Chains A and B, each alone.
Chain A
């Protein structure tokens, strides 16, 4: 990795940690008990890397998508292997992990709210770090094969020539923990802005 590339990753790491703190606070407030969010790893990745991180190309994943608009545009997607998403739903409802076994309406609603909190927290943290005005869209629940979702984001950003940022995201409460992947595909202008700040 180039020096500038390492600095960009460092800035994105700081954004992710800040976003995780904000999201943990929001989520804990929503569910009425402490849920902490950790982001141990932030990296730039290919579509294949993103799929591998959630179980493989054909793995059925559940999560939420948010668009990012304002001074720049981008995409944010929180993805879990289906079972992991249901574990996160259990954390949100204060149930022992493994209680929710089907992605029913209640589970989908919880995933939408989870995506809203985590995605918005990241977008707001990014906006503060790069000093741009950014607005997250309302969340859309996604439930499909991993590659179908990742490829759509990839196609969208490829027409602009950018890469995706992958943030491993761990959710933890006293009852247990589970992990997902936050994929952020910013406008190339956003990366350029971060490079400016990193220089």
Chain B
């Protein structure tokens, strides 16, 4: 399904960032996810939407830093869930979607660059920790993706370079 282009107030969620909003006009966008993974959360009752743009799988005790709370899959998802809850979302209602985790340097280098696959696995692992599951995913492959979530509806779209967006 094609996303309504230009609709809403688009906010870029950069690498390592976490964004949460109740503004129905907002559209949260993670541009060009390669090995990174974008995760969206939507509570249809509380009308809260959030997104995290994860760069690496595990924090392994390292601080993510105030400007990049979503840098790691584990601590980034913790931050997203906490901020969703602060705005009234309940875990039991949250719909989670994820995209990215690709091997954009080609199948020949997929074995070498495992970051994408490790990010995707770390996301799923941390979601299980929070008793959340993916309602939809577009993970892996060899193409970069741009992901966006529309706050009014929670509808999430993914597109690759020069392609039309598909609803996730």
A residues contacting B by CB (< 8 A) are: 47, 57-58, 60, 65, 67, 140-152, 154-156, 158-159
Contacts and interface: CB of A to CB of B under 8 A. Distances in A.
B40 interface: no
A101 to B, nearest CB: 15
Interface residues of B, number: 27
Given A58-B31, A158-B55, A148 B112 contact: no
Contacts of B108: 140
Question: Which of B56, B116, B144 has most chain A Cβ within 10 Å?
Answer: B144
A37 to B, nearest CB: 23
A152 B34 contact: yes
A3 B92 CA distance: 56
Nearest to A138: B108
Given A149-B104, A156-B115, A67 B34 contact: no
Contacts of B160: 144
A145 B31 contact: yes
Given A60-B161, A145-B161, A140 B32 contact: no
Interface of B: 15, 31-36, 55-56, 102-106, 108-109, 112-113, 115-116, 143-146, 160-162
Closest 7 pairs between A and B when the two form their complex, measured CB to CB: A148-B144, A147-B32, A148-B34, A145-B32, A140-B106, A152-B34, A148-B32
Contacts of B33: 148, 151
A140 B105 contact: yes
Contacts of A154: 15, 55
Contact of B104 (A47, A57, A67, A152): A152
Contacts of A58: 31-32, 146, 161
A129 B142 CA distance: 35
9 contacts: A58-B32, A140-B108, A142-B105, A146-B32, A148-B102, A148-B104, A148-B161, A152-B104, A152-B115
